[in-house]
Structure formats: structure tokens, C-alpha cells
Amino acid sequence: MTYPPGGAPDPYQQPQPYGQQPYDPATPSSGQPYGQPSSGQPYGQPYGAQPSSGQPYGQYGQDAYKGQPYGQQQAYGQPYVPTTNTMAILALVFAFIFAPAAIVLGHIARKQIRQTGEQGQGLATAGLWLGYIITGFYVLACAAWLIAVVALGNTTTSP
């Protein structure tokens, strides 16, 4: 990395990643003038011809990036990756573990998704539906059990 004439680095200048030199359009990297291709052909290699470097993909191999297998990092930072709401995932999971909790988590997740714009609307809705359906089955099963206990308890047997 080169420093200004004073010898100290400029604190307001962004450092070059991986020790690369800054881009200078006046010095092309191939050493060829800008209008002429390096292969001698007017438009590069003819169709189906083997590249002159001996690699099957020519300049696009890993050697072109000098050991960086995925190329250079973008100058504007990390790309936006939308996240899935955690409450929506938990709502779907808890629908099979403890359904009433899935109902609560599903409603919380839908509210958070509306406010933050995260992904997971379908997971929250599925957790809500499953939570309501499975809780309904629990209630019906408990009611049937109570009816059976009351019905069997009322029968009197005479000796």
C-alpha cells in the first residue's frame, strides 16, 4: 500500500482489500492498447477454439483473480439477504409440540412481519391454522373424555 508523501496513511481513505493496488485506467492490466484484443483475432478466439492459456475457460479461471476463488468483493458492502421471522418458524414448530403456543406465536409473528417487512408470512399463517386446528382437536378430545367419564360414572350396577 502506498502512502502520501508525508509517510502516514490518509485516515479518510478506504484501504485497498487484499493488498491490491487502486484501479488506474491509464495502465491496462493486459499490456495491450484498449482497442486491440490480445489474441490477434479481430474479435478474440474463434468459436470452439482452445484458449491460448491452456485452461479450458481462459481468463475466467481462478488464476485471473490471483487466488480469490469468488472474485473481488463488491464495493458497496454485503448484498441484502431477507431474513425469515423467528417467531414464524417457532409458530410452525410449536403447532406440533404445544398448539396454543403456536397460536400466540403466529399472531406475534404476523404483527412483526407487517412492521419489519421480513419473510415468513406463510410460515406464520400455517402455524396459526395448525395451532387452531390442533387446539380444536384437543378441546374435542377433552370434551369426549369428560362425556365418557360422566356417562360411565352414572351407571349403577345392582348386586
- For residue range 94-123, what is the model confidence (pLDDT) as tens digits? 999 999 999 999 999 999 999 999 999 999
- Mean pLDDT, the chain, rounded, equals 75
Indicate whether 112 belongs to any domain: yes
Residue with cell 481462459: 58
Mean pLDDT, residues 8-23: 64
Mean pLDDT, residues 52-78: 54
Contact (CB, 8 A) for 99 and 135: yes
pLDDT at 69 over 80: no
How many residues in total does the chain contain?
159
Q: How far apart are CA 144 and CA 138, in angstroms?
A: 10
Sorted by sequence, the CB contacts under 8 Å of residue 28 that are 6+ apart come out as 34
Instruction: Give the max Cα distance, the chain.
Output: 114
Indicate whether 97 belongs to any domain: yes
Helix (H, G, I), strand (E, B) or coil at 84: strand
Indicate whether 122 belongs to any domain: yes
Sorted by sequence, the CB contacts under 8 Å of residue 103 that are 6+ apart come out as 128, 131, 132, 135
pLDDT score for 82:
84
Indicate whether 92 belongs to any domain: yes
Contact (CB, 8 A) for 118 and 89: no
Among residues 23, 145, 131, the alpha carbon closest in space to that of 72 is found at 23
Other Cβ atoms closer than 10 A to 62? 13
Indicate whether 141 belongs to any domain: yes
Q: How far apart are CA 155 and CA 152, in angstroms?
A: 6
| pLDDT above 70: percentage of residues in the chain | 50
pLDDT score for 12:
72
pTM check: above 0.75: no
How many domains are there within the chain?
A: 1
| pLDDT above 90: percentage of residues in the chain | 42
pLDDT score for 28:
55
Residue with cell 378441546: 139
Indicate whether 54 belongs to any domain: no
25 φ/ψ angles, rounded to the nearest 5 degrees? -65, -15
Indicate whether 127 belongs to any domain: yes
Indicate whether 142 belongs to any domain: yes
Which structural domain, as residue segments, surrounds residue 118?
86-154
Q: How far apart are CA 47 and CA 139, in angstroms?
A: 72
